[in-house]
Amino acid sequence: MEATIGAPGLPATLDLPAGPARGGLVVLHGSHADQRSSFLYEHLARLLPPAGVAVLRFDRRPRVDGHDVPLSDQADDAAAALTELRRHVGSAPVGLWGFSQGSWAAALTATRNPVDFLILVGSSGVSPAVQMRYGTAEQLRRHGYGPAELAELARLREVAEGFLRGDVPRSTAQAELDAAVRRPWFPLAFLPRVLPEAPGTWADMDFDPAPILARLTGPVLLCYGETDAWTPIDDSLAVWRRAARDAELTVARLAGCDHAPTLDEREDLAGVSTQYEAVLLDWLDRQLPRQSDRRQPEPRLRCLP
């Protein structure tokens, strides 16, 4: 069924099970997958309703002047989506599924509007600025660049971030960008050729997930591709384990996957990892048992292959 979400009137699609729902989840977006038609979201809508789980996916609100949607606004829209979902699933448990940037928004939403579970794919436990430093450096490494180019990249991102924080004059930062544009690796730096006129345009650059994670309770499933090029997995898990002491963490490392839960970095439904599907269904089956199912509680930390 079709609906709209929240005051912005965001278009949404709700896929319901044929019978009573055992649970439901709201889908939150990766930074470059803002439409509900994205294949990862459509995959959930195909996989989960036959297992008794409703899926609500919606279009993320548009960017303003090219700037990313603030996490606080994303959390507001997710809260409105949860309200809509609960109207259709009643007292069944509801949760949030978030991919990449959506995992920050999902965790933030859960601290404002408690949910029964979280499923996070490619979840970064570090700030967006730190994550982008890691991710862009990894892009250079994978394209064969060495220490000299990595040092140039680190300096360039440091200066660009300094301008956005208001610590570096625009003229200084733009001059360094102008010089770097001629480098063959510049497209891998994911920086604009021309800086905005004023600093402060990346509101969530230094968003620290740790205080948010510390407030989470209940079950959390963290899925990571084994070769994630954009998320520092070990650093992120260290933050999760240190901060989210009251959450019940399950960690799944997906063989053959990178940042998305797909094989060979594919971007279509056919490329979605069958291991990822099995992990989702098994974990949800444990969180949303049928009335006849009397499973024992999950341990606090459970690592899947």
pLDDT tens track for 96-118: 999 999 999 999 999 999 999 99
Counted residue by residue, the chain has a size of 305
**Same domain, yes or no: 273 and 284:** yes
**Same domain, yes or no: 98 and 138:** no
Dist CA 304 CA 122 (whole Å): 15
**Same domain, yes or no: 224 and 109:** yes
Whether residue 113 lies inside any domain: the answer is yes
**Same domain, yes or no: 106 and 251:** yes
Q: What is the largest CA-CA distance in the chain?
A: 67
pLDDT in tens, 205-216: 999 999 999 999
Whether residue 63 lies inside any domain: the answer is yes
**Same domain, yes or no: 109 and 134:** no
DSSP 13: E
Residue in this structure with the two tokens 């099995």, named with its chain if needed: 278
pLDDT at 66: 67
In the sheet that holds 218-225, the strands lie side by side as: 2-5, 10-15, 53-58, 23-28, 94-99, 117-121, 218-225, 247-254, 301-304
Mean pLDDT value across residues 19-32: 95
Whether residue 269 lies inside any domain: the answer is yes
DSSP 297: P
pLDDT at 171: 95
**Same domain, yes or no: 87 and 181:** no
Whether residue 202 lies inside any domain: the answer is no
Strand partners, 222: 120, 251
Dist CA 221 CA 252 (whole Å): 8
**Same domain, yes or no: 238 and 95:** yes
Least confident of 169-173, 194-198, 207-211, 272-276: 194-198
The CATH number that applies at residue 46 is: 3.40.50.1820
Residue 298 — pLDDT band, cuts 50, 70, 90? Answer: very low
**Same domain, yes or no: 176 and 116:** no
Name the domain count of the chain: 2
The range of the structural domain enclosing residue 116 comes to 2-126+208-304
Contact assessment for residue 160 and residue 177, using Cβ atoms and an 8 Å cutoff: yes
Mean pLDDT value across residues 180-187: 96
